[in-house]
Amino acid sequence: MKLGLGRRYAVYLSAFTLGSITLALAGAGFVSFRQAAILQTQIRNAISTVQSASEEERLRGTAQYLAGRLFNPLFGLDVARLDEEIAQVRRWLPVRDFLVTDADHRIITDGTDAKLSFGDRLEGVWPSIDSGALLLADASGRRQVRFAIQSGGALAGFAAVTFAEDPAQTGLRRIDEQTSSLWTRHRSSLLILFVIAFVFSAVLGAVTSSRLSRSLSRPLADMSRAANAFAQGDLDHPLPTESADELGELARALRTMSQDVRTHEAALREETARLRRAEAERSELLADLGRKNAELERFTYTVSHDLKSPLVTIQGFAGMIGAELGPNAPERIRRDLARISGAADKMQKLLADLLELSRVGRIVNPVEAAAFGDLVHEAIELVQGQLTAKTVEVVVERGLPTVKVDRRRLVEVLQNLLENASKFVVPGRSPRVEIGLRTEPERAFFVKDNGQGLDPAYRERIFNIFEKLDPGAEGSGVGLSLVRRIVEAHGGRIWAESGGPGEGATFVFTLGPECWGEVEAKPPAGHAASSA
Amino acid sequence: MNRRSFFIHGSRYAGALLAATPVRARAETGRRRLRFGVIAELANEPDRMLRVYSGLLGELSLKLAPRGIEVAPLIITRDLSELARLLAQGEVDMVCETVFVTLDLQQERLVSLTPRLAIVRREQREYHSVFFTNRTTGITALGDLRGRTLVLQASRSTSAYAVPRAELARNGIRLFPAGQPKAPPSAAFYVFAGAELNQAIWVLKGKGDAGAFNEGDWKRLPEKVRAGLVIFHETQPLLRGLVSFRDDIDPAIQRASEEALLDLHHEPPGQRALEQADGITRFERLTARDVDRLAQWRRALRSASGQ
């Protein structure tokens, strides 16, 4: 059972108080008991001394007297007179038992009417005829005197007289009994006093310690309640700040802290409101941006689509003009027509790319699960001509995972990256492309080549539309923009890594969490190679 | 003053002090008086008899006074002889004694005396004596006592001397004191033990061969003492006591006295007076059977005396 602070203090204080008083009482009781016992022993010793003094002499004298008195009746076997003598003796001596026997120690009379012991043999030690009285003590410690009843050498019998206490001895015994009784009462009184004091001190200690501990623990309990209230946000909970002690200081500090918390809470609320406003503005801007992007896409689509017709017209008429001029047309005109036709083709290509770019995100194909390795090989098939022409070696890592993607678009990504790698080969270096999966620091596919590489300063620019680092390079400069749009449409991102020009480049892209499927079983080692 | 005169005058003086006794009835010649005589049981305690019979005399005085009879102060005699002499001299009219004292007065002292009433003491009208012996002696009948010693109490005892003596005499056995050299071989001997308890213990201890005393004394013996003894003979019943009147007493006084005594136990004061007189329960008239038995005992006593 867990005790609260106040109760714990109460228990400690009660135990301490009770223990102290009990110890004091036990000590006092021990001293009292010991002194009383010593006193009783001394009284007993004194009584014993008084009792034993002259008793022997008195008993011997009594025996001698009785022997003289009893001889005649015993010799004459006058039991009635013996009884009278015994009765007479009982009147002036404290006799308890008076037995008269014959010479064979068989009891003649005990002085009573019933004579219950008549004829019994009285065993034990007996004096001889000419010796004096024999003093004995019975089992209860009473004095007994045995003597021969004889006269002039004639033995009549014996007598055994057991004495009760005489008045003086009775008085001494009573004194002893009274001291014993007093001692017993004294001990009982002490014990009762001890019990009363124990109970009283226990109650008093419990009450006092309870009040003391309550006075001590109440501020702590108040502080505890206040802290709990603060923890639950009730900063207005009252605090016991009136006390001048440490608890008062703690309460005042807690109150200051609550005020600071309240101030900071207000500032936090204000900042939160500001952030919410900014978030709303950002959302509005993003929405506006989305609308504008959509509008731009629609515009791009419209322009790309609508410009196609006049361009086809231009290409058509340029062809017709060239055909009408025939082979004899002036060289200058043929060159001009060739430029017009070339520009129209270029523009048509550019419009096709723009149209394709605008379709990404606008035209969505159904998502399907596909092994990434299959997508890679599908892309390799599409660019097989270029790869073969450039003798590009493509190495595809085995065990690539299954992905849930727009299959056609993702093949388009891989196709663009492979085309890009085959474009920027280094003369005299066997071109090689590796395709695989990284797992650290995050899962991402990569397409790594050993081509021309790129300056780190251009790592972002290459993804801009129509951005071409080499103006003489093939293409419209839309490919990497298209790649980024597709990757982003799948919730991922793409970036380029390169050690610099001539160091090759690695394009790394991730996919959104919803696009990842199960990982295919990897072979123990090595890569699956697909050479061009 | 000799002992006799001490008893007579002392008793008269003490009797005169009895408040219950009508003062008018002081000794005056020619007056109708009843004189009650007793024997002092203990010579050194004459006042005991006064204490015992004062109540009885007082009640008797109250009952006889209306009939003109005065009850004289108690006459305490020293012994049987003195009582017999006073009876013979006409100074005692009435006695309350045992059967054997009464018979002794009649036969031995030749006093003209007639028993008239039986004394019932402590609800016991009669008693008998028992002869007992140690279980080891082999004595089974009175005849076995010949040549043996009988332990008796004292010569004054009725049940522990007179009755056994008479019973033995009736059976042809004469008693002699122990050590009597002239005793015939068929005789028995006796010793006095002084007390009934002593009699029993003497027999147990072999100081005598048998004993005899009152049946009540037998019952009062300590159990362990009685266990060593056995009764081998019981006497005929004997009345506890007799009230006898001198034969030449005025018949009217005798009759009035008998009626007064017979009437005492009917009233509480009379009952108290009777109880005070050594536990008398009441007085009863003698029956014919009582008279026959008295005659038998008289013959037995005569036999014993003829030795």
Cβ atoms A513, A491 nearer than 8 A: yes
* Number of residues that this document lists for chain B: 307
A-B CB pairs within 8 A amount to: 41
Residues of chain A above pLDDT 70, percent? 89
Chain B nearest C-alpha distance from A164 (Å)? 25
Q: Is residue A432 within 8 Å of A479, Cβ to Cβ?
A: no
Q: What is this model's ipTM?
A: 0.71
Angle, CA of B54, B57 and B58, to the nearest 5°: 85
Residue B230 CB coordination number (10 Å)? 16
User: CA B60, CA A50: separation in Å to the nearest integer?
Assistant: 63
Measured in whole angstroms, how far is the alpha carbon of residue A450 from the centre of its chain? 58
Q: What 3-state class would DSSP assign to B287?
A: coil
Please indicate whether, in this complex, the C-beta atoms of B197 and A83 are within 8 angstroms of each other. Answer: yes
Q: Residue A78: which of B198, B222, B224 has the nearest Cβ?
A: B198
Please check the confidence at residue A254 and state whether its pLDDT lies above 70. yes
Nearest to A124 by CA among A85, A162, A152, A178: A162
> Is residue A65 classed as helix, strand or coil in its secondary structure?
helix
Q: Is B11 exposed, middle or buried (0-12, 13-18, 19+ CB in 10 A)?
A: buried
Is the pLDDT at A46 greater than 50? The verdict is: yes
Q: Is the pLDDT of residue A2 over 60?
A: no
Tell me which residue of A320, A307, A310, A318 sits closest to A341, measured CA to CA. A318
A114–B201 C-beta distance less than 8 A: no
In this prediction, residue A463 has a pLDDT band, given cuts at 50, 70 and 90, of confident
* Cβ <8 Å between B223 and A114: yes
Mean pLDDT, chain A, rounded, equals: 82
pLDDT value at residue B150: 97
For B204-231, the DSSP string reads HHTS-SEEEEEHHHHHHS-HHHHTTEEE
Q: What DSSP character marks residue A106?
A: B
Q: Which of residues 189-248 of B touch A (CB under 8 A)?
A: 193-195, 197-198, 201-202, 204-205, 207, 220, 222-225, 228
CB contact under 8 A, B222 and A83: no
pLDDT in tens, chain B (307 residues): 333 333 444 443 344 334 333 333 334 445 789 999 998 877 667 688 889 999 999 999 999 999 999 999 999 998 889 999 999 999 999 999 989 889 889 887 888 999 999 999 989 999 999 999 999 999 999 999 999 999 999 988 889 998 999 899 889 999 999 988 888 888 999 999 999 999 999 999 999 999 999 998 999 999 999 999 999 999 989 999 999 999 999 999 999 999 999 999 999 999 999 999 989 999 999 999 999 999 988 888 887 776 4
Phi and psi angles of residue B45, each rounded to the nearest 5 degrees, phi first:
-130, 65
Judging contacts by C-beta atoms under 8 Å, the chain B residues touching residue A80 are 194-195, 197-198
Give the max Cα distance, chain A: 207
Among B201, B205, B225, B229, the residue to mutate for chain A (most A Cβ within 10 A): B201
User: Closest-CA residue in chain B for A73?
Assistant: B198
Residues of B with CB below 8 A from A114's CB? 222-223
- CA pair distance A213, A217, nearest whole angstrom: 6
Where is pLDDT greater, at B43 or A123? A123
Match 């009252």 to its residue by tokens: A238
Per the omega criterion (within 30 degrees of 0), is the bond before A441 cis?
yes
pLDDT, tens only, A360-382:
766 667 889 999 999 999 999 99
Q: What distance in Å separates the CA atoms of residue B54 and residue B60, rounded to the nearest whole number? A: 10
Q: What is the pLDDT of residue A173?
A: 67
What pLDDT score does A532 carry? 42
Residue A520 has pLDDT above 60, yes or no: no
Q: Which residues pair with A144 in a beta bridge?
A: A136, A162
Is the per-residue pLDDT at A195 higher than 90? no
Min mean pLDDT across A98-102, A172-176, B180-184 is at A172-176
Q: How far apart are CA A86 and CA A80, in angstroms?
A: 10
Structure tokens at B222: 């300590």
Burial A266-277 (b: 16+ CB within 10 A, else e): eeeeeeeeeeee
Q: Name residue A151's beta-bridge partners.
A: A154
Beta A432-438 vs B36-39: how paired, if at all? unpaired
Percentage of residues in chain A with pLDDT exceeding 90?
23
**Under an 8 A CB cutoff, do A118 and B198 touch?**
no
- Would you say residue A19 has pLDDT above 70? yes
Q: How many CB atoms are located within 10 Å of the residue A406 CB?
A: 21
The residue type found at B20 is A
Q: How far is B198 from chain A (nearest CA, A)?
A: 5
DSSP H or E stretch at residue A460: none
Of A77, A81, A118, the CB nearest to B207: A77
Cβ-contact B105, B85 below 8 angstroms: no
Instruction: Give B191→chain A minimum CA distance, Å.
Output: 12
CB-based burial of residue B73 (10 Å sphere; 0-12 exposed, 13-18 middle, 19+ buried)? buried
> Percent of chain B having pLDDT more than 70?
88
B178 at A interface, C-beta within 8 A: no
The CA-based angle A220-A225-A230, given to 5 degrees, is 120
CA nearest A110 in B: which residue? B222
Could you tell me which residue, A254 or A79, shows the higher pLDDT? A79
B222 and A113: CB-CB below 8 Å? Answer: yes
**pLDDT digit string, tens, across residues A300-331:** 777 777 777 788 888 888 888 888 888 777 88
**How far, rounded to the nearest angstrom, does the alpha carbon of residue B103 sit from its chain's CA centroid?**
10
The residue that leads in pLDDT, A297 or B1, is A297
How far is residue A405's CA from residue A415's CA, in Å, rounded to a whole number? Answer: 15
Q: What is the reported pLDDT for A39?
A: 79
Q: Which two tokens stand for residue B21?
A: 């006794």
- Asked if A71 contacts A156 with a C-beta cutoff of 8 angstroms, the reply is yes
Contact B224 A118 (CB under 8 A): yes
Which range in A181-195, A498-512, B42-56 is most confidently predicted, on average pLDDT? Answer: A498-512
Q: Beta strand B94-97 with B241-246: parallel, antiparallel or unpaired?
A: antiparallel
At residue A396, φ and ψ (nearest 5 deg) are -110, 125
Task: Taking residues A230-252, report their average pLDDT.
Answer: 76
What number of other Cβ atoms are within 10 A of residue B126's Cβ? Answer: 15
Choice between B53 and A129, residue whose per-residue pLDDT is larger: B53
Instruction: Show the DSSP H helices in chain B as ranges.
Output: 3-16, 46-64, 80-88, 99-107, 163-170, 196-205, 215-220, 223-226, 251-263, 268-276, 288-305
- pLDDT above 70 (res A524): no
